[in-house]
Structure 1
Amino acid sequence: MTKHLQDTLSFEVFPPKTDEGMTKLKRAVSHLNKLEPLYFSCTYGAGGSTRERTFETVSWLREQGIETAPHLACIGSSKEEIRAIVDHYRDQGITRLVALRGDLPSGMGRPDRGTFRYASELVTYLRDAYGPQFHIEVAAYPEFHPQAASASADLEHFKHKVFCGADAAITQYFYNADAYFALVDACEKQGVSVPIIPGIMPISNYAQLARFSDACGAEIPRWIRRRLEAFGEDRESIRAFGHEVVLKLCERLLAGGAPGLHFYTMNQAKPILALCSDLGVVAKTTRDRPAD
């Protein structure tokens, strides 16, 4: 299991809004990079609201020689803007992209005519414009996209997105392994054979997790919610319980054939390092343990 995970481990970070946040991010990345992940992905704000910070973060990652997969959200951007961004990344030696529809920033109405409406259109454009230059990942939803009309419609949208030229998919985070395996089985029956990488969200802050989950439609199983609620402000108990829940989830996913794990780090190294250590993946050096 260790070698399999070591070869397919990846991490998501987000562009900090402050210099202090950037310092924290750099410290976390330096620790996580010792696990020798396949790549780090970097998020992109709604409508490009964190565009400059994203560019700054991606540039820093590349300067460290780190394989980087920037998120590319198409809503609110013209084809010309997308082309300029992708050309910029290509010039930095980037060969991976995470192609997403993205969300409209608060207060923005319908996107201007001529912009991409769906991630499938963005994937099609990238393949037409750049051919095989980029390894393209897209999003998948084991518990279905919150805006999907039905489970079957969601599967059809995902299938279309993949057939437009995606190389792999990364899922929304989840805590029900059965939902992931059901998605993989349904995709296989539809002829979708690209790797579907489980997205893993560590549990260390229940209030924050509940807020994220309510916003994105990811389900926290009732038994997990109740246990977390019972801990109140006992952060150490929340972290210990969350670690065991996520560790068992990862173990089951890998044992069931998941092609890797993609961790949503929230720019923190310590919870990820603890999980990876218990999964048999250890850092190249144990010096300078993270304090976050």
Structure 2
Amino acid sequence: MGTHQHPLGISFEFFPPNTDAGRDKLRRVRDELAARKPRFFSVTYGAGGSTQARTREVVREVGLSGITTAPHLSCIGSEKAQLRDLLAQYREEGIDSLVALRGDMPSGMASIGELRYANELVEFIRDETGDHFEIAVAAYPESHPQAPSFDKDVENFARKMNAGANLAISQYFFTADAYFNFVDKARALGVEQPIVPGIMPITNYTKLARFSDACGAEIPRWIRKQLEAYGDDSESIEAFGTEVVSRLCQRLLDGGAPGLHFYTLNQSRAPLRIVDNLA
């Protein structure tokens, strides 16, 4: 990261592509981002069984870069036996980092599974595998979409951290104060582990709006209005997006954030432009 020597540095998230073209592109993106020596890559997965296999495939692919690769592991809709097998497989493959999430209820699934919350998943991983895995969990600076209140949400977060998580990665946001406020609240509850801000580059307004509605991330009105004004002028959107998100990242780092985790959407250009803007 240029001259930055943050203890956690930067990291990047991918999703499993479902076409051959998507897979070829991800290899290219992986190599471009690996050249920046990120601290780790993470790989998401959708709900349901088939995609867990796809996640494993992509974790192997991405891991060929030599960069630590952390698969997402979700507990909703999973039984302990399934998770136990998966943990064993990951260990055999030399994986030692995980992102432990509650996950979404797969559609058409009757059973919520044996573990209902991420803190139970973290406890389960620790009981089964001791200290083998570095475990990251999710943080929601603007509150989890299903949380009854902000304070309850921060309490749930502290519970996950106390269950044995090593670090947290936040949902993306565009207001630095939301992150700093969340960190302060978590610290007041005794959470000491690093809370890494999640960063979403802005390259496409329609997609961003859809994502943000779904996950409860706030797009400030001034950003929304400006993006709407650009219509489908993708060059202007990207230039403006790069500037806004670079400023956000700089403010986060200056304010003591322990690193940055980029939601790449399997693209390298936007995240790299932002990283190159950081002092």
TM-score bucket (shorter structure): over 0.9
**Distance in 1 of aligned mates of 2:19 and 2:207:** 20
**Distance in 1 of aligned mates of 2:8 and 2:118:** 27
Length, aligned pairs only: 278
With 102-111 and 73-82 compared, the bigger mean Cα shift is at 102-111
Matched, 1:82 2:83: yes
Equivalent runs, 1:166-181 vs 2, <5 Å: 166-181=165-180
**Distance in 2 of aligned mates of 1:247 and 1:279:** 7
**Distance in 2 of aligned mates of 1:54 and 1:15:** 6
With 266-275 and 99-108 compared, the bigger mean Cα shift is at 99-108
Quote how far apart the aligned CAs of 1:5 are.
Answer: 4.1
Equivalent runs, 1:43-192 vs 2, <5 Å: 43-112=44-113, 115-192=114-191
Q: For residues 9-67 of structure 1, give each alpha carbon's deviation from its aligned partner in whole angstroms, at most 9, with x where no partner exists.
A: 10000000111111111111110110000110000212345112111101112233221
Query: Is the 8 Å Cα contact of residues 172 and 199 (structure 2) preserved in structure 1?
Result: yes
**Distance in 1 of aligned mates of 2:30 and 2:7:** 16
Quote how far apart the aligned CAs of 1:110 are.
Answer: 4.3
Quote how far apart the aligned CAs of 1:2 are.
Answer: 3.1
* % identical equivalent positions: 57
**Distance in 1 of aligned mates of 2:187 and 2:13:** 26
C-alpha distance 6-263 of structure 1, shift in aligned 2 (>3 A):
farther
- Hey, what does 1:248 align to over in structure 2? 247
Amino acid in the other structure paired with 2:227: L
**Distance in 2 of aligned mates of 1:70 and 1:81:** 15
- Segments of 5+ residues of structure 2 without an aligned counterpart are none
Amino acid in the other structure paired with 1:190: L
Q: For residues 70-122 of structure 1, give each alpha carbon's deviation from its aligned partner in whole angstroms, at most 9, with x where no partner exists.
A: 1001111110110111111111111111000100123334424xx21000000
Equivalent runs, 1:249-288 vs 2, <5 Å: 249-280=248-279
C-alpha distance 49-156 of structure 1, shift in aligned 2 (>3 A):
farther
Matched, 1:28 2:29: yes
Give the 3-state SS of the residue equivalent to 1:22 in structure 2.
Answer: helix
Q: For residues 206-236 of structure 1, give each alpha carbon's deviation from its aligned partner in whole angstroms, at most 9, with x where no partner exists.
A: 1000000011111101111111011111111
**Distance in 1 of aligned mates of 2:3 and 2:122:** 32
Amino acid in the other structure paired with 1:52: A
**Distance in 2 of aligned mates of 1:92 and 1:108:** 29
**Distance in 2 of aligned mates of 1:15 and 1:165:** 27
Quote how far apart the aligned CAs of 1:167 are.
Answer: 0.7
Q: For residues 163-212 of structure 1, give each alpha carbon's deviation from its aligned partner in whole angstroms, at most 9, with x where no partner exists.
A: 11111100000000000000111111111111000000000011000000
- Segments of 5+ residues of structure 1 without an aligned counterpart are 281-292
- Hey, what does 2:200 align to over in structure 1? 201
TM-score (norm 1): 0.92
